[in-house]
Structure 1
Amino acid sequence: MDPLFFSRVQFGLTASFHFIYPPLSIGLGLLLIIIGLRYLRTRDPKWRQLSFFWVKVYGLVFAVGVATGIVQEFAFGTNWPLYSRFVGNIFGSLLAAEGVFAFFLEGGFLGLMLFGGNRLGPRLWLFAIFMVAFGAHFSALWIVMANSWMQTPAGYVLQETQFGVQAFMTSFGETVFTPSFIPRILHTLVASWMTGAALMLSVGAWFLLRHRHEELGKATIRVALPVFVIFAILQVPLFGARQAENVTKHQPVKLAAMEGVWEDTACAPLTVVGWIDVANQTTYGIKIPCLLSFLAHGDFNATVQGLNSFPQDEWPPLQITFQSYHLMINLGMVFIGIGLLAAFFFLWGRRLWTSQFVLWLLVLTVFLAEISTMVGWWTAEIGRQPWIVWGLLRTVDAGSPVLQGYQVLISNVMFVVLYAILFVLFIFLLNQKIQHGPDPLESLEERPVNTLPDTFREVFRRQARA
């Protein structure tokens, strides 16, 4: 049993499961701020009622996200010590900054956000919500910085030490603003905002379909639908195109794998859906002529490098890279269609509120959004193989030399069981909150009795009598 294989499976499993939650928390954070601002502007109690409801959902998502994210950092030391040694002098500062500036910032205000709704004033509570949302975005910033350095390393020098070759930072600015960072962080944030909006749309549509909390369901859709539509339209042609240009320039073999291009091709077509025949080096599918050349180079007649221009030992796993990429792209187009359809029904005499077909589409959108973000992450990470740090360190050279295959296999089984239980629990609690719906505002605004001042008064009275 190959410990490296099982270590890769373990990291893919744990990272994929963890990646369900950060996009939700980032997206919900933005929308909670919008809801809070609407309440301050209108003083309409339904917005405050929705704030209480969605803060509870955010707390559940945050708790599971943190619990599953910590596992990743432990895995660096247990399963990938040679990788940790190689990048430690660079990643140490980035991950420390993520912990100090983002995690503590987010966690520090989380208590005020979760329990301060009926204790703080609306403005101070909104400030706590803003700081938690800012912390979630800031956390993503540092994580994407670190991951982007693995994709396009910059601002470093390699030195031979007593522990082997290690990378050392020479420029903090070049390291954090590595060439792939800006396109990737924009792509990640927009996808997260869409995912959070999709969750709100799903819940709002569910309320309308079940004829429960209908006014609150309509208000939820009014907030989430513009966010979803705007970013769905911008994501593929704007932020996705920037990604394609960056991959073309810095990781051309990944682009060739993503599109199944075998030979250098001028006026290269973009495959809409297809299948790679690795044995015959052929890609079958529906293709749009010259579109790949335009997206990659801004020129319909530009030449796109094919896989055969690179050594075969530098090819990523082809089929999964190809299919993951196209599933992400095609779902992006589906989101545009769903968003525009829902917007049309909304503007057409508010017929969205009674169209069961469109409402069911909105209910399903959150599941499609999660799939899209997941396969997008698979495309980036699997497409980077065989490199764990692009061009510097191969994955086969990054694992632990002392781990046994059976040890990692046993831990994999434990993770599958544990994460299955955790996921069922998460879905159960989330469904319970959704089925219960927002609580009446009167019960939410009841302030807990504080007996501490009365206790002091009683002590003072006793002292006075004495």
Structure 2
Amino acid sequence: MDALDVARWQFGVTTVYHFLFVPLTIGLSVLVAILQTMWHRTSNERYLKLTKFYGKLFLINFAMGVVTGIVQEFQFGMNWSDYSRFVGDVFGAPLAIEALVAFFLESTFIGLWIFGWDRLPKRAHLASIWAAAIGTNLSAYFILAANSFMQNPVGYRINADTGRAELTDFPAVLTNKVALITFPHTLAGSFLVAGSLVTAVGLWHVIRNRGSADTGAYRFATKFGSWVVLVASAAVLFTGDIQGKIMTDVQPMKMAAAEGLYTTESPASFSVLTVGSLDGSREVFAIKIPYLLSYLGTGDPNGTVHGINDLQAQYATQYGAGSYTPIIPVTYWSFRFMIAFGMAAGAIALLVLWSQRKGRTPSSKWLLRAGLAMPVLPLLANSFGWIFTEMGRQPWIVFGEMLTRNGVSRSVSLAEVLTSFTAFTLIYATLAVIEVKLLLRYAKAGVPDVSEEHPIDDTHDDAERPLAFAY
């Protein structure tokens, strides 16, 4: 074990942990905005209660996401200074815009939304949550544009004197074909997470608090969340299909690693389950779907999918001697776990909707257990998706330009990286306990009582009234 190994583990752990909060923040910001819009248009207290209820869960998650995201920025300078030096000119533009425009828009209007319930006119207050939601999604786009450069470098040139990548075409970076499909795929995955949380919490209250005055609100939340999950599941499949074809075009080794395909095949089958050697090079038993891998990779059921051995030989000739094959068991199983967990969430959403058909009230304990598992399933799917995306690119940190081993900080020792890794892990474990306890506490508390609240008078200047925190 050396500093490179620990630095990779640290970045992987902190990134996946941070990404547990990101999709819920992205998806829930929009769903809360939709619920408030429904209240604004109908004046139905049910939607106001749900807006404040899920808005509180959104704020808890948003705060944790901000805290854990700060560590990501530090790591570029701490453990990956050579990488930062190489891509700094390219990454500077999208990440600066993300911080100065998207995050500023997001954080500012979240503040207005929190403290504006008793101060802002209804339309202005509604606009603030929509502005925050738009800022959240814009933030995701600029970050994904930077990450997509690592997958498919465009809009740059290599300065031979400094050995750095220099930005030459910023629009090309923003319109990278990897970014253009990764963004909607990430959004769909985010709505899958957010819809699952809305469904799980609503279902728990429907079953555990049957006959309460707010049962109608919880029933609506359960149906609303389930439909969001189903639509998001369809969007994930559609965008994932396109993403697979683009991935095969720009990173054919990643698609071959996703299947553990060592020899070039035309047509190529997709294995649902394979039992074999640990590195996947020898197959003992497999359940395969003929033609599917060819279609996923090329759009043609009879298309050619290049194998690991042929691509390894090609890359060795193109980039020099060395291994250009990622860890096959990781890519193979993370790809399948990503699909399986996402599909499981969609299946549970169908069961939840079926259980409430024609006004029925669900009561099954098994359905409740399945519903409570819903938010975890798409979170796992998102996490395995990112693990596949990043591990499948290895050994490159910037595909075709910089190997991961060349991006680590050369002045940082093994002891120093171990110290920071241990500290971050302990801090993140503490934050995880706090996050879960807060979410469970406020989710169990149920929707707030808004019967004594008064609607904001759009024409009255209430300048003397102090700021009020609505939660």
Fold match by TM threshold 0.5: yes
Does residue 392 of structure 2 align to residue 398 of structure 1? no
Q: Which amino acid aligns with 1:322?
A: Y
Give the conservation status (yes or no) of the 8 Å contact 1:324–1:379: yes
Does residue 440 of structure 2 align to residue 442 of structure 1? no
Classify the secondary structure of the residue corresponding to 2:153.
Answer: coil
Counterpart of 1:458 in structure 2 is: none
1:55-74 equivalences under 5 Å are 55-74=55-74
Pick closer, same or farther for the CA change 1:91–1:446 going to 2, 3 Å: same
Alpha-carbon shift at residue 116 of structure 1 (Å): 1.6
Alpha-carbon shift at residue 392 of structure 1 (Å): 0.3
Alpha-carbon shift at residue 356 of structure 1 (Å): 4.0
Does residue 273 of structure 2 align to residue 263 of structure 1? no
Segments ≥4 residues shifted beyond 6 Å: none
Give the conservation status (yes or no) of the 8 Å contact 1:218–1:353: no
1:58-207 equivalences under 5 Å are 58-161=58-161, 164-207=162-205
Q: Which amino acid aligns with 2:18?
A: H
Give the Cα–Cα distance (whole angstroms) in 2 for the partners of residues 13 and 276 of structure 1.
Answer: 28
Deviation per CA, 1:335-376: give whole Å up to 9, x if none: 332233333333x31335344433432221101111010000
Give the conservation status (yes or no) of the 8 Å contact 1:206–1:363: yes
Q: Which amino acid aligns with 2:196?
A: A
Q: Which moved more, 1:171-180 or 1:75-84?
A: 171-180
Does residue 439 of structure 2 align to residue 430 of structure 1? yes
Q: Which amino acid aligns with 1:78?
A: M
Give the Cα–Cα distance (whole angstroms) in 2 for the partners of residues 389 and 443 of structure 1.
Answer: 57
Give the conservation status (yes or no) of the 8 Å contact 1:314–1:385: yes
Q: Which amino acid aligns with 2:193?
A: T
Q: Which amino acid aligns with 1:341?
A: L
Classify the secondary structure of the residue corresponding to 1:157.
Answer: strand
Give the conservation status (yes or no) of the 8 Å contact 2:344–2:377: no
Deviation per CA, 1:80-126: give whole Å up to 9, x if none: 00000000111011100000111110111111111222332332221
Classify the secondary structure of the residue corresponding to 2:160.
Answer: strand
Counterpart of 2:469 in structure 1 is: none
Give the conservation status (yes or no) of the 8 Å contact 1:39–1:47: yes
Give the Cα–Cα distance (whole angstroms) in 1 for the partners of residues 280 and 184 of structure 2.
Answer: 37
Deviation per CA, 1:64-84: give whole Å up to 9, x if none: 100100111110011100000
Pick closer, same or farther for the CA change 1:452–1:39 going to 2, 3 Å: closer
Classify the secondary structure of the residue corresponding to 1:286.
Answer: strand
Give the Cα–Cα distance (whole angstroms) in 2 for the partners of residues 373 and 31 of structure 1.
Answer: 19
Deviation per CA, 1:368-410: give whole Å up to 9, x if none: 1110100001000111110000010000000011111011111
Instruction: Find the partner of 1:382 among 391, 397, 400.
Output: 391
Give the Cα–Cα distance (whole angstroms) in 2 for the partners of residues 310 and 194 of structure 1.
Answer: 35
Instruction: Report 1 or 2 for greater relative contact order, CA contacts < 8 Å, sequence distance ≥ 6.
Output: 2
Alpha-carbon shift at residue 451 of structure 1 (Å): 11
Counterpart of 2:315 in structure 1 is: none
Alpha-carbon shift at residue 39 of structure 1 (Å): 1.0
Count matched residues.
449
Alpha-carbon shift at residue 454 of structure 1 (Å): 9.9
Counterpart of 2:316 in structure 1 is: none
Alpha-carbon shift at residue 194 of structure 1 (Å): 1.0
Deviation per CA, 1:116-153: give whole Å up to 9, x if none: 22332332221111011111001001000000111000
Give the conservation status (yes or no) of the 8 Å contact 2:226–2:350: no
Q: Which amino acid aligns with 2:436?
A: I
Counterpart of 1:250 in structure 2 is: 250
Give the Cα–Cα distance (whole angstroms) in 2 for the partners of residues 445 and 55 of structure 1.
Answer: 19
Counterpart of 1:460 in structure 2 is: none
1:184-333 equivalences under 5 Å are 184-211=182-209, 213-236=214-237, 238-275=238-275, 277-278=277-278, 281-283=281-283, 284-311=285-312, 313-333=323-343
Give the Cα–Cα distance (whole angstroms) in 2 for the partners of residues 171 and 85 of structure 1.
Answer: 19
Classify the secondary structure of the residue corresponding to 2:329.
Answer: helix
Deviation per CA, 1:398-448: give whole Å up to 9, x if none: 00111110111111111111111111011111111112122210355599x
Pick closer, same or farther for the CA change 1:118–1:275 going to 2, 3 Å: farther
- Stretches of structure 1 that go unaligned for 5 or more consecutive residues are 456-466
Give the conservation status (yes or no) of the 8 Å contact 2:90–2:167: yes
Give the conservation status (yes or no) of the 8 Å contact 2:185–2:235: no
Give the Cα–Cα distance (whole angstroms) in 2 for the partners of residues 280 and 86 of structure 1.
Answer: 34
Q: Which amino acid aligns with 1:157?
A: R
Counterpart of 2:20 in structure 1 is: 20
- Stretches of structure 2 that go unaligned for 5 or more consecutive residues are 313-321, 467-471
Deviation per CA, 1:24-80: give whole Å up to 9, x if none: 011101111211121122211111111111221111111110010011111001110
Give the conservation status (yes or no) of the 8 Å contact 2:279–2:328: no
Give the Cα–Cα distance (whole angstroms) in 1 for the partners of residues 280 and 451 of structure 2.
Answer: 69
Identity of aligned residues (%): 34
Alpha-carbon shift at residue 219 of structure 1 (Å): 2.1
Pick closer, same or farther for the CA change 1:177–1:220 going to 2, 3 Å: same
Pick closer, same or farther for the CA change 1:322–1:142 going to 2, 3 Å: same
Q: Which amino acid aligns with 1:179?
A: K
Give the Cα–Cα distance (whole angstroms) in 2 for the partners of residues 223 and 116 of structure 1.
Answer: 26
Give the Cα–Cα distance (whole angstroms) in 2 for the partners of residues 243 and 451 of structure 1.
Answer: 51
Classify the secondary structure of the residue corresponding to 1:168.
Answer: strand
The Cα RMSD (Å) is: 2.1
Counterpart of 1:36 in structure 2 is: 36
Instruction: Find the partner of 1:339 among 331, 346, 349.
Output: 349
Q: Which amino acid aligns with 1:228?
A: V
Q: Which amino acid aligns with 1:234?
A: A
Give the conservation status (yes or no) of the 8 Å contact 1:56–1:114: no
Give the conservation status (yes or no) of the 8 Å contact 2:113–2:125: yes
TM-score norm. by structure 2 comes to 0.91
Q: Which amino acid aligns with 2:191?
A: W
Give the Cα–Cα distance (whole angstroms) in 2 for the partners of residues 217 and 279 of structure 1.
Answer: 48
